[in-house]
Structure 1
Amino acid sequence: MMSSEEPTPQKDPFDPSRARAEERVKRVLSRAPFMSPGCGDVKLTCTARDGFSVSVNVDRDVLVSKSRFFEEKLVVGGVVRKSWCVEICECDDVEVYLECLVLMYCQDGQDFRNKIVGEGVDKILGLLKVCDALKFDDGISSCLKYLEAVPWSEGEEERVIMNLNELHLPNDHEVLERVALEASTSSRIDDIFLRLFTGVLQAKDEKARREMKSLISRLLREDNSTPGYNDGYNKLEISKETLYTICHRCVTSLILCLSEATSGDENRGMMSEIAREADNLEWVVDILIEKRICEDFVKLWADQNELAMLHLRVPVMYRHKISRITAQLCIAIGRGNALVPKETRVALLSTWLEALYDDFGWMKRGSRTGDRRLIEDGLCQIILTLPLSQQQTFLMSWFDRFLEKGDDCPNIQRAFEIWWRRAFVRQPVVEPQLQITVCDYPN
């Protein structure tokens, strides 16, 4: 038996986001000057993409005087229509459109800014986009002045730049001055970098020097290591020439320090200065390696025969940081981060490997176990890139040194084992080359 009851109507499911939007709209309209009874001669309807719609009556004179968009809609042939209905469809945010209508009733720009003071950057960006869409010039100007005056978080900064780049507003340059340099030459940028590096290298306060070294290294590394970090930005980089200018200064300073320190009685102050200059050079070389432009420095360092001779005359407790630079380069070459010719690799080891062996005991005192392993792996790799006869020369020398010094010498027996197998166990059989002879064959 069928029931005679009427079916119960289905209620629309409750939509929290719609409810919040309606509440925000209600707050905006509660202070709207056009909500007084009998006010307004233009019916304006704002409809969101989801169908949410709000209709209000606004004053035609206000719309026409403040918005070129409404002027185009309401003025026909120079005559203002007495009654009109306007609908704005597919609004991104009905609340923001209504708020722009409220702000069109402001007496001047100062009144406008007083009403938006304390609002967040994202709210102002939303207003700016709607002001632009409605061609509300006073609103655009006030929003830009507001953005220019308030601080931004890093995330807000990215959104400000993105929105202004999309809008292409004619008067946004004062806002963007905060993040965009005026047209500049690469030499001017290099002058700034050079001044920063020089300041760090010559810093008098040791703690401040270490902090600024760390800061500059992190900032130079950041743009390369963060995916998408520079998307949409013009990247201003320090030039290779400027970095090498700094390197040459550091090498020259190191030679002068060593020359002065070895010319007379031991001067503890000068000895400490050697360690500081070596630390400075190690920092700059680390940046060269990070940027994959250290090949020329490997050649420069391999040619420092005078510096290597002076190095031997300085007590190991002061000079061992110089050998860290050699270790840096061996690690970079061993990892394939620096591609240098065979002759340069041989010259580097010929000039500095014995000094590194001498200093290794002191080097490992201030290092972690992992650092020692990196140095040993780097030495293994760079030696194994050489021709077999040169592998033998360097590894036989290491063999004698290791038996004499033990743990105070880097342990590169892995390279020794590979050389041994290459030389005595797995010698490749060289096939005779195929020869082709062309001759006439009689018929």
Structure 2
Amino acid sequence: MYLIHIFDENIEPSHLSQLELHGSIPEVLQRVSSDSEPTTSARSDGILMNLLGGVLQAKDDKARREMKILISRLLREDSVDDDNRFDVSKDTLYHLCHRCFSALVLCLSEAIGTDGSKRDRGVLMAEIAREADNLQWIVDILIEKRMANDFVKLWADQRELAELHSKIPTMYRHEISRITAQVCIAIGRGNILVPKESRFLLLSTWLDPLYEDFGWMRRAYKSVDKKLVEDGLSRTILTLSLRQQQIILLNWFDRYLNKGDDCPNIQRAFEVWWRRAFIRQYTDVEDGSQLQITVCSYPN
């Protein structure tokens, strides 16, 4: 019996036939062929799918938070290397987004119809918060990977979820509005680039819920930077057409007068719109631009 060491990964099958291996050629080919196993990229994406999915379904909150931090750090480190082959795919992340959407709709629907024969309401509300937190984590990864453009339209299309959201007490649902804040901050920074129609649709679906939840959101989480959210929201609004800005900002004006600090303060965006629309007489020029402007000068 011969012990054969093959160091050349590109060895041809015809070369093996010159050796007296008899019936062992298929077995040797399996060992040296790069096509006999999934690619490293495919294997790593499958592993990451299992890891990410496992974190989303974790029962222990402390362990879930720790593993989120760990996996986020590992993915961030992998991204530093231009030749990285161990990254998570866009399809995997969006598959997990859809999973979170389904879980949120299910929890909200069950919470609205809860009676004495069903699960404890407090348990359901905790699940809503956890699923919203899970989605925030996936969105953070999408933004970090510059893969979040499609998420804007996807989030804007969640009308069923937005309708259910309005029927849940604010103290339980405000986690969901943090997702809208995340997206607006990323758009304002230029980390998400989407057509004007998608930006307007996003605000049409989720801006009112964000207004309603803003007070609870900023009081419940010290990590929520009020000014950062307001700046991101202002910049997002100011990338729209003047007509769309007018609709949104006049609605905000009425809300702010009634809610005060429990509503985002975007008066600087209001000032910019006012100057564009009236003082500079931009209304004489048709506003048909599809560009997303992410840097704007605010008045002192």
- Given the superposition, is the C-alpha separation of residues 369 and 319 from structure 1 closer, same or farther in structure 2, using an over 3 Å criterion? closer
Distance 1:207 1:420, change over 3 A: same
Alignment of 1:213 with 2:63, yes or no, is: no
With CA pairs under 8 Å and 6+ residues apart, which has the higher RCO, 1 or 2?
Answer: 2
The corresponding residue for 1:96 is none
Q: SS of the residue aligned with 1:356? A: helix
Structure with more helix by fraction: 2
CA distance 1:234–1:354, shift in 2 (3 Å): closer
Deviation at 1:427, TM superposition (A): 1.5
Q: TM-score, normalised by structure 2?
A: 0.78
Q: Where does residue 200 of structure 1 map in the other structure?
A: 55
Among 86, 104, 113, the residue aligned to 1:236:
86
Q: TM-score, normalized by length of structure 1?
A: 0.53
Deviations 1:171-218 (A, max 9, x none): xxxxxxxxxxx8635332221001101110111111000000111111
CA distance in 2, matches of 1:430, 1:277: 47
2:214 partner amino acid? F
1:249 aligns with 2:103: no
- Please list, as runs of the form range in 1=range in 2, the aligned pairs for 1:69-218 lying within 5 A after superposition: 184-218=39-73
Q: CA RMSD in A?
A: 1.8
2:138 is the counterpart of 1:291? no
**Distance change (3 Å), C-alpha of 1:366 and 1:264:** closer
Residue 409 (1) aligns with residue 263 (2): yes
SS at match of 1:293: coil
Among candidates 110, 123, 141, match of residue 260 of structure 1: 110
Greater share of residues in strand: 1
Q: Is the 8 A contact 2:41 2:85 kept in 1?
A: no
Residues 354-375 of structure 1: CA distance to partner in whole angstroms, max 9, x if unpaired?
0000000011013348711111
Q: Per-residue deviation at 1:430?
A: 5.8
C-alpha deviations, 1:267-318, integer Å up to 9, x for none? 1110110000000000000100111111111111000111000001111111
Cα distance in 2 for residues equivalent to 1:416 and 1:304: 28
Partner SS state of residue 323, structure 1: helix
- The equivalences for 1:234-383 within 5 A come to 234-265=84-115, 267-368=121-222, 371-383=225-237
Aligned partners of 1:236, 1:199: CA distance in 2, in Å? Answer: 18
Q: Sort the Cα spacing of 1:244 and 1:426 in 2 relative to 1 into closer, same or farther, 3 A.
A: same
* Shift in alpha-carbon separation, 1:286–1:358, aligned structure 2, 3 A: same
Change (3 A) 1:185 1:398: same
Unaligned runs of 5+ in 1: 1-181, 432-443
Query: 2:53 & 2:177 partners in 1: Cα distance?
Result: 23
2: CA distance, partners of 1:317 / 1:346: 27
| Counterpart residue type for residue 427 of structure 1 | Q
Could you say what secondary structure the match of 1:411 adopts?
A: coil
Cα gap change, 1:217 to 1:369, in 2 (>3 Å): closer
> The residue matched to 2:225 in structure 1 has which SS?
helix
Whole-angstrom distance in 1 between the partners of 2:272 and 2:123? 45
1:315-362 per-residue CA deviation (whole Å, 9 max, x = no partner) reads 111100000000001111111111111111111000000000000001
Shift of 1:220: 1.0
* Distance in 1 separating the partners of 2:70 and 2:283: 55
Secondary structure, counterpart of 1:343 in structure 2: helix
Distance 1:185 1:223, change over 3 A: closer
Tell me how far 1:223 sits from its aligned partner. 3.1
Q: Distance in 2 between matches of 1:240 and 1:429?
A: 40
Q: Radius of gyration: which is bigger?
A: 1
Q: For residue 269 of structure 2, what is the amino acid of its counterpart? A: A
Deviation string 1:241-285 (CA, Å, 9 cap, x unpaired) is: 111111111111111111111113371110110000000000000
- 1:222 is the counterpart of 2:70: no
